[in-house]
Amino acid sequence: MAVVTISREYGSAGSAVAREAAALLGYHLVDKAVIGRILAGYGLIDFEKAYEAESGIWSAFDTRQRTIISMLERVTLAVARQGRSILLGRGCFVALAGMPGALNVRLRAPIGWRVSRILEEGSVGDQAAAEAAVHEGDKVRSSFISLVYGLRWDSMEKFDLVMDTSKIGISRAAAWIAEAARSLPEAQPPATPPDAVLDEAVAAELGR
């Protein structure tokens, strides 16, 4: 019952890799939409807006932001207690650092490849907009990790598996993640007290 976290550079096909890996493993994919639904039950309906906000919002660290960060970490730990899940989101690798049975993955790719992929998806209209989206997406992720956890977002030392999706490809990256997850010992629950109410909410969301 391993748990996988995936951190990714903007436009590096992280969502596609996570979906394929989850399908190969028979794991639940826990992304910001799933986390958002769980947190909405606690009144944090602005989670996704804050999560995708420009980097400066985290520098304020007001009470609301602290609450969101605390609940994000609690949900991450609750998912880990359930096991058999892939967590796609920033900071999850920090919350589960050192947990036996947790596989922390980082996906990256050259900027040019990421820009081309975004253009192919049709989410932006031109090259300049795609380049701006990549730089802003990376900036938001980097700022969050730096301000919340005091870590360098571009450091690879916290990850067990680092892959360049431009070279490896989506399907092979997913297959490698699945193979690595299967080789792990059974996950041990995080060294934190159970959170009965939240554990129940997570189990209900994951259909367990």
Q: Specify the CATH architecture of the domain 3-203.
A: 3-Layer(aba) Sandwich (3.40)
Least confident of 16-25, 115-124, 171-180: 115-124
Whole-model pTM: value is 0.88
Q: Cα(134)–Cα(146) distance, rounded to whole angstroms? A: 18
What is the percentage of the chain residues whose pLDDT exceeds 70? Answer: 87
Q: Which residues contact 28 (CB under 8 A, 6 or more apart)?
A: 22, 34, 82, 84, 85, 86, 206, 207
What mean pLDDT, rounded, does the chain reach? 86
| Per-residue pLDDT, 24 | 97
- Tell me which residue of 146, 129, 186 sits closest to 1, measured CA to CA: 186
Q: Which residues contact 146 (CB under 8 A, 6 or more apart)?
A: 152, 153
Note the pLDDT tens digit of each residue in 153-164: 888 888 999 999
Taking every pair of Cα atoms in the chain, the longest distance, rounded to a whole number of angstroms, is 49
- Residue 44 — φ and ψ, nearest 5°? -95, 65
Could you tell me the pLDDT band of residue 82, with boundaries at 50, 70 and 90?
confident
Least confident of 138-147, 151-160, 173-182, 188-197: 188-197
CB 156 within 8 A of CB 106: yes
pLDDT at 38 over 80: yes
Could you tell me the pLDDT band of residue 115, with boundaries at 50, 70 and 90?
very high
| Per-residue pLDDT, 53 | 61
Residues 39, 177, 86, CA angle at the centre, nearest 5°?
10
Q: Which residues pair with 90 in a beta bridge?
A: none
| Per-residue pLDDT, 1 | 63
pLDDT at 30 over 60: yes
- Single-letter amino acid, residue 208: R
Could you tell me the pLDDT band of residue 99, with boundaries at 50, 70 and 90?
confident
